[in-house]
């Protein structure tokens, strides 16, 4: 306990020092500039500041402050211009031509010469995408270019991408941070160290990163975007992150006013902050704003089908787990009603292809019968399985553990740090694991890619090592169909086949929940929970 309190004091002092050092210049008017600094904690830590390796939500959120691509998403996930001011698609749907702005500059760096910066041109995108697909770099985002035949800079302001075949969702892929533009001279100067020396075009520029301690960004005075009144973005002068490693400490810092923003709901503080029906408690209503909205995120348990464990190999056991617990009850007691029970498939509510009828409902009798059938057929009288989770989802896994024990299945719950679990899951070292999948773009294809056999981990995201000829065939066929209704039918069929084989246990479709101090305005909310700080302001408390 003493160690935890000391850690919190150090973190608070660290942030205070950041604010003072950023603005101190000996004048009274600069003594209190705290309202120009947005402060938050990232308990899951940051892995990289290189967009080519930005594969987690927390990495994407920080890279979103530093980098831009050809196109971007708004809060309703509409695709809007960014560095490309407009674009057109050929009649055959295979060639995309982007017309670039000529007023976008990289953040200042001595490698750019006497002007310390330079304008972004089309060949920068050629370099950035070539780097992304370079096998030697082994960037996890290289898959976004799988459908690309070639690309070229026609001149400084025209960039062209040609696809191998039409793919209507392709423009959505380009909104991902993987496809951000980076400067060749800086990347090649730093090599792998570019992860901690990022230079982009975003609304904020890199200032300082002490890994596991703090991260600081400053306002990019040359940023190209403006608001509706023509005022330059962003409004804030700085962004300061800390890395307290658990949600309870993070909440205490928020409650004390030391950080401005809290994302998500955790068992350690949910009842302190919310009523049983998910409303903000009166004691916090005067100082805190709560915002909720749809979240394209499916929380689930997955099975590694190449496991040698008989219980994992058995569809009977996998289905029994799906039938054996009450998702609605779980959401009420463990999430204060925030989120929707996953009675459909893997595709979440809000995406084309979602179908509430293809999943599993609570049928404890059926779960018990399936487990008994497994016992009879396998000769295993005491079936047992191990579920690995991170500490933040321990309560969910223990709930399922208790419910399945009633049906005759013993579930052992092991806890790993989130980063360790991600690595073990990718390497096929865990038989059953808790995970989540957040949409990268507004098409269900990015969910169903997890079922495609050519995406086996570690090269892809098929953590289950699920292989099904019909699924593979339908997945490939979907790329050739531009009619959304026909594509929707294929998506639902693929999802239903995965559910029929019970390769996962969908738990719930999440909701974005954001808590901010009352003096924070303009943060907004979006269905992929991406942090966008361009229009955020803070008033003096």
For 24-121, where are the alpha helices, taking DSSP H only? 57-66
pLDDT digits (tens, 9 = 90+) for 397-418: 999 999 999 999 999 999 999 8
Q: pLDDT tier at 330 (50, 70, 90 boundaries)?
A: very high
Give the whole-angstrom CA distance, residue 280 versus residue 266: 14
Helix axes 315-323, 394-407, angle to 10 degrees: 110
Which pLDDT belongs to residue 452?
A: 95
437 — pLDDT class (breaks 50, 70, 90): very high
- The yes-or-no verdict on residue 329 having pLDDT over 50 is yes
State whether residue 253 is helix, strand or coil. helix
Average pLDDT over residues 360-372: 98
pLDDT higher than threshold 70 for residue 15: no
**pLDDT computed for residue 28 by the predictor:** 45
- Percent of the chain at pLDDT above 70? 94
Three-state SS string across 233-246, please? CCCCCEEEEECCCC
| Cis preceding linkage at 234, omega within 30 | yes
Number of neighbouring beta carbons within 10 Å of residue 374: 22
- Which residues, 6+ apart, have CB-to-CB distance to 244 below 8 Å? 7, 8, 11, 41, 43, 250, 253
Residue 153, SS3? strand
Q: Could you give the C-alpha distances from 375 to 323, 370, 432, 537, in angstroms and in order?
A: 17, 9, 20, 61
Give the residue-averaged pLDDT of 407-433. 94
Mean pLDDT, rounded, for 365-390: 97
- The three-class DSSP label of residue 224 is coil
pLDDT at 483: 81
Of the pLDDT bands very low, low, confident and very high (cuts 50, 70, 90), residue 77 is confident
Short-list 38, 18, 69, CA closest to 440:
69
Question: Which tokens belong to 522?
Answer: 């303009």
- Mean pLDDT lowest for which of 67-71, 351-355, 476-480, 537-541? 476-480
Contacts of 16 (CB under 8 A, 6+ apart): none
Structure tokens at 241: 């992150």
Backbone φ and ψ for 241, nearest 5 degrees, come out as: -110, 145
Half-sphere exposure of 457 (CA within 13 A, CB side): 19
Of the listed ranges 111-115, 476-480, 520-524, 526-530, the least confidently predicted one is: 476-480
For residue 323, give the 3-state DSSP assignment. Answer: helix
Is the model's pLDDT at 10 over the cut of 60?
Answer: no
The tens digit of pLDDT for each residue in 98-121 reads 999 999 999 999 999 888 999 999
- Distance CA(196)–CA(212), nearest Å, equals 13
Domain ranges of the chain: 34-243+519-538, 294-512
SS3 content of the chain, % helix, strand, coil (to 5): 35, 20, 40
What CATH homologous superfamily does 294-512 map to? Dipeptide-binding Protein; Domain 3 (3.10.105.10)
**pLDDT one-digit tens code per residue, 189-248:** 999 999 999 999 999 999 999 999 999 999 999 999 999 999 999 999 999 999 998 889
Q: What is the dihedral of CA 301, 302, 303, 305, to 10 degrees?
A: 170
H or E element that contains 161: strand 158-163
Give the C-alpha separation, 409 to 401, whole Å: 8
Coil/strand/helix, residue 436: strand
The correct CATH number of 34-243+519-538 out of 3.40.190.10, 3.90.700.10, 1.20.58.410, 3.40.50.620 is: 3.40.190.10
Q: Which of 328, 329, 353 is nearest to 342 (CA)?
A: 328
Number of neighbours of residue 345 by Cβ within 10 angstroms: 29
Residue of 440, 522, 526, 533 lying closest to 223 (CA atoms): 533
Q: Do domains 34-243+519-538 and 294-512 have the same CATH topology?
A: no
- What would the mean pLDDT of 347-367 be, rounded to a whole number? 95
Mean pLDDT of the chain: 92
Residue 443 near residue 283 (C-beta atoms within 8 A):
no
Question: pLDDT confidence of 267, banded at 50, 70, 90?
Answer: confident
* pLDDT band of 5, cuts 50, 70, 90: very low
Structure tokens that stand for 35 in this block = 């309202």
User: Is 154 in contact with 486 (CB distance < 8 Å)?
Assistant: no
Q: 155-197: per-residue pLDDT in tens?
A: 999 999 999 988 888 999 999 999 999 999 999 999 999 999 9
């Amino acid at each position: 306990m003493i160690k935890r309190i000391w850690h919190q004091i150090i973190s608070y002092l660290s942030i205070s020092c950041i604010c003072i050092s950023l603005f101190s210049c000996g004048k009274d008017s600069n003594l209190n500039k705290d309202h120009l600094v947005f402060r938050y904690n990232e308990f899951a830590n940051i892995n990289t500041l290189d967009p080519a390796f930005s594969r987690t939500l927390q990495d994407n959120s920080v890279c979103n402050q530093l980098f831009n691509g050809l196109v971007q998403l708004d809060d309703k996930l509409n695709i809007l211009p960014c560095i490309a001011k407009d674009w057109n698609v050929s009649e055959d749907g295979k060639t995309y031509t982007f017309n670039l702005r000529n007023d976008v500059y990289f953040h200042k760096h001595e490698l750019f010469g006497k002007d310390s910066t330079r304008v972004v041109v089309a060949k920068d995108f050629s370099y950035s995408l070539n780097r992304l697909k370079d096998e030697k770099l082994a960037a996890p985002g290289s898959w976004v270019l799988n459908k690309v035949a070639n690309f070229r800079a026609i001149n400084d302001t025209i960039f062209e991408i040609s696809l191998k075949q039409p793919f209507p969702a392709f423009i959505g892929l380009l909104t991902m941070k993987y496809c951000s533009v980076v400067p060749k001279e800086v990347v090649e100067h730093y090599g792998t160290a570019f992860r901690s020396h990022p230079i982009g075009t975003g609304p904020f520029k890199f200032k300082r990163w002490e890994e596991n301690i703090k991260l600081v960004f400053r306002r990019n005075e040359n940023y190209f975007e403006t608001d509706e009144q023509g005022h330059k973005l962003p409004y804030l002068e700085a962004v300061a992150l800390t890395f307290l490693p658990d949600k309870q400490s993070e909440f205490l810092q928020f409650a004390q006013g030391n950080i401005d923003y809290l994302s998500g709901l955790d068992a350690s503080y949910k009842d302190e902050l919310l009523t049983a029906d998910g409303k903000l408690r009166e004691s916090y209503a005067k100082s805190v704003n709560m915002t909720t909205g749809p979240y394209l995120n499916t929380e689930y348990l997955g099975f590694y089908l190449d496991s040698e464990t008989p219980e994992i190999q058995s569809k009977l056991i996998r289905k029994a787990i799906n039938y054996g617990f009450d998702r609605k009850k779980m959401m009420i007691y463990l999430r204060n009603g925030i989120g929707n029970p996953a009675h459909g498939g893997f595709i979440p509510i809000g995406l084309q292809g979602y179908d509430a009828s293809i999943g599993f409902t609570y049928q404890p009798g059926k779960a018990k019968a399936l487990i008994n059938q497994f016992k009879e057929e396998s000769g295993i009288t005491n079936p047992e399985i191990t579920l690995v989770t991170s500490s933040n989802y321990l309560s969910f896994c223990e709930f399922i553990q208790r419910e399945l024990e009633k049906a005759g299945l013993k579930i052992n719950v092991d806890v790993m740090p989130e980063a360790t679990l991600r690595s073990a899951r990718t390497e096929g070292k865990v038989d059953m694991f808790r995970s989540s999948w957040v949409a990268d773009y507004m098409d269900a294809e990015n969910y169903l890619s997890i079922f495609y056999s050519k995406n086996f981990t570690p090269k892809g995201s098929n953590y289950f090592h699920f292989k099904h000829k019909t699924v593979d065939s339908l997945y490939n066929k979907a790329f050739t169909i531009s009619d959304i209704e026909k594509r929707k039918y294929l998506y639902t069929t693929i999802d239903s086949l995965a559910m029929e084989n019970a390769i996962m246990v969908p738990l719930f479709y999440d909701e974005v929940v954001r808590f901010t101090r009352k003096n924070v305005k303009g943060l907004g909310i979006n269905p992929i929970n991406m942090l966008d700080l361009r229009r955020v302001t803070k008033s003096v408390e």
